[in-house]
């Protein structure tokens, strides 16, 4: 059976700052979604990461389907209404346009979708990040899908031996989507040359070269490209199929344990490590350190098993303790050097205005 997985995510308001959505908002969003399970949807699961609400849908309507996107839009709109009633901060923050126009692309929410023929066993995971950029997934996914130092399946499994195809998006393009398609391992250095620049280039999807099957899809919406100014961080989501012809679920652990420095955190304007956390974790008052959570499911005829939280077992407490040290070390140098983003990436225009004023004082 051909199944579509759609993950749609938006920040529609949070308690006491950019922390987490309220119980009432989450309940409203879930109510709207639940009504369609068994109708438009085969199944649904709702969770949050920091201040972002993530909707996972399974259905048979394909990607970019108007009815599916409209359901998410409706859930986010009704949730926003509750957020406004409660006076939550940034109510409706990611709903950048007033009217729905056929699909969610360009309206603010993050979207990641894939359609595939369901395997007899179809394990997959959803990754959701807060306080960071779409390119935040570049390094972990490169290591899982292209580097045998991390991904033992590339050596041990004949299914993975031909490698994976990367579709990489130029995130700076505002007029139209612009992609490049590169095969690993032959084009490994070209892939690395692009992915190293996580502000400019982001993995959009990854494909099995042997089977032509989609392995991973990442949302690539840059809010600044839509709004033309800082309206919060992009906070990407991803869907990844695992096992058999794809890397094993546990092969994703070590690359995420690296916790690479990514853009985001406070005012979307700094570099801090991407910390793996449990699903439904509030944003951290430690400078809004970027976070990623992962839930894995099994799928049967489009219905989800209960989720397993990928960053909940005891290993991750130790990893987090190290990531906190790494984050604190960077923060010690305050605004200086790589702690704050380079000028062209700075999301706040205040500093540009300040420098302009100072220009007059130069002689
Ligand atoms: P199990 O025997 O626990 O299924 O181990 C499977 C495995 O090889 C995991 O990588
Ligand atoms: P989000 O609302 O996009 O999570 O980020 C807000 C922010 O900049 C916190 O400092
Ligand atoms: Mg927010
Ligand atoms: Mg957020
Ligand atoms: Mg955001």
- Ligand 1 atom having least distance to the Cα of 248: 10
User: Which mutation among 224, 236, 288, 289 tests ligand 2's pocket best, with the greatest number of atoms within 8 A of CB?
Assistant: 288
- Ligand 1 atom having least distance to the Cα of 250: 10
Query: What is the separation of C-alpha 54 from the centre of its chain, rounded to a whole number of angstroms?
Result: 10
pLDDT of residue 224: 87
Q: Residue 360 domain-assigned?
A: no
The reply to whether 233 belongs to the active site is: yes
Peptide bond into 185 cis (omega under 30): yes
Q: Residue 12 domain-assigned?
A: yes
Ranges under pLDDT 50 in the chain: none
Question: How far is 289 from 277, CA to CA, in rounded Å?
Answer: 11
Q: Residue 298 domain-assigned?
A: yes
Q: Residue 363 domain-assigned?
A: no
User: Which mutation among 11, 129, 133, 269 tests ligand 2's pocket best, with the greatest number of atoms within 8 A of CB?
Assistant: 11
CA 266 – ligand 2 centroid, Å: 7
248, 283, 236, 36 alpha-carbon torsion, rounded to 10°: 90
Does residue 235 have a known ligand-binding role? yes
CA 20 – ligand 3 centroid, Å: 8
Residue of 9, 11, 43, 142 marked active site: 11
CB 298 within 8 A of CB 121: yes
pLDDT of residue 207: 98
Does residue 43 have a known ligand-binding role? no
Does residue 52 have a known ligand-binding role? yes
The reply to whether 300 belongs to the active site is: no
CB atoms within 10 A of CB 251: 20
User: Which mutation among 243, 248, 251, 313 tests ligand 1's pocket best, with the greatest number of atoms within 8 A of CB?
Assistant: 248
**Range of the structural domain that residue 41 is part of:** 2-355
How many structural domains comprise the chain? 1
Q: Name the phi and psi angles at 127, rounded to 5.
A: -110, 135
Ligand 1 within 6 A of 248 CB? yes
Q: Name the phi and psi angles at 249, rounded to 5.
A: -50, -45
Question: How far is 320 from 328, CA to CA, in rounded Å?
Answer: 12
Nearest to 111 by CA among 263, 19, 4: 4
Enter the tokens of residue 82. 């509750």
Question: How far is 74 from 61, CA to CA, in rounded Å?
Answer: 18
The reply to whether 230 belongs to the active site is: yes
Q: Residue 361 domain-assigned?
A: no
Q: Residue 71 domain-assigned?
A: yes
CB 310 within 8 A of CB 231: no
Q: What is the ipTM of this complex?
A: 0.95
Buried b (16+ CB within 10 A) or exposed e, 143-169: bbbbbeebbebbeeeeebeebbbbbbb
Nearest to 110 by CA among 21, 223, 269: 223
Ligand 1 within 6 A of 250 CB? yes
Does residue 97 have a known ligand-binding role? no
pLDDT of residue 45: 98
Give nearest CA residue, ligand 2 atom 5. Answer: 232
Using a 10 angstrom Cβ sphere, with 0-12 exposed, 13-18 middle and 19 or more buried, the burial of residue 292 is buried
Does residue 234 have a known ligand-binding role? yes
Q: Residue 8 domain-assigned?
A: yes
Question: How far is 344 from 204, CA to CA, in rounded Å?
Answer: 23
pTM greater than 0.90 (yes/no): yes
Q: Are strands 164-170 and 179-183 parallel, antiparallel or unpaired?
A: antiparallel
């Amino acid at each position: 059976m051909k199944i579509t997985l759609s993950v749609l995510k938006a920040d529609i308001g949070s308690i006491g700052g950019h922390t987490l959505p309220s119980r009432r908002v989450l309940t409203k969003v879930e109510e709207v979604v639940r009504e369609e399970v068994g109708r438009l949807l085969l199944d649904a699961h709702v969770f949050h990461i920091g201040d972002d609400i993530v909707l996972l849908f399974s259905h048979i309507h394909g990607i970019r389907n108007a009815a599916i996107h409209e359901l998410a839009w409706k859930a986010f709109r009704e949730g926003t209404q509750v957020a406004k009633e409660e006076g939550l901060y940034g109510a409706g923050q990611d709903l950048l346009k007033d009217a729905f126009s056929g699909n969610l692309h360009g309206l603010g929410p993050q979207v990641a979708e894939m359609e595939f023929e369901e395997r007899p066993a179809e394990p997959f995971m959803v990754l959701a990040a807060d306080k960071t950029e779409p390119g935040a997934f570049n390094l972990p996914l490169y290591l899982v899908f292209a580097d045998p130092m991390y991904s033992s399946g590339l050596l041990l499994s004949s299914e993975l031996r031909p490698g994976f195809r990367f579709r990489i998006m130029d995130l700076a393009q505002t007029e139209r989507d612009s992609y490049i398609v590169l095969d690993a391992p032959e084009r490994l250095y070209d892939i690395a040359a692009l992915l190293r620049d996580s502000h400019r280039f982001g993995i959009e999807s990854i494909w099995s070269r042997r089977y032509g099957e989609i392995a991973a899809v990442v949302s690539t919406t840059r809010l600044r490209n839509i709004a033309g100014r800082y309206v919060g961080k992009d906070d990407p989501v991803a869907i990844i199929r695992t096992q058999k012809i794809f890397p094993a679920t546990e092969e994703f652990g070590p690359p995420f344990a690296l916790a690479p420095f990514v853009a985001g955190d406070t005012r979307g304007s700094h570099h801090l490590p991407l910390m793996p956390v449990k699903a439904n974790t509030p944003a951290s008052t430690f400078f809004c350190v970027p976070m990623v959570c992962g839930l894995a499911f099994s799928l049967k005829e489009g219905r989800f098993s209960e989720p397993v939280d990928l960053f909940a077992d005891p290993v991750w407490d130790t990893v987090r303790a190290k990531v906190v040290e790494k984050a604190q070390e960077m923060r010690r140098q305050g605004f200086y050097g790589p702690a704050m983003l380079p000028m062209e990436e700075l999301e706040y225009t205040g500093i540009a205005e300040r420098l302009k004023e100072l220009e007059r004082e130069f002689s």
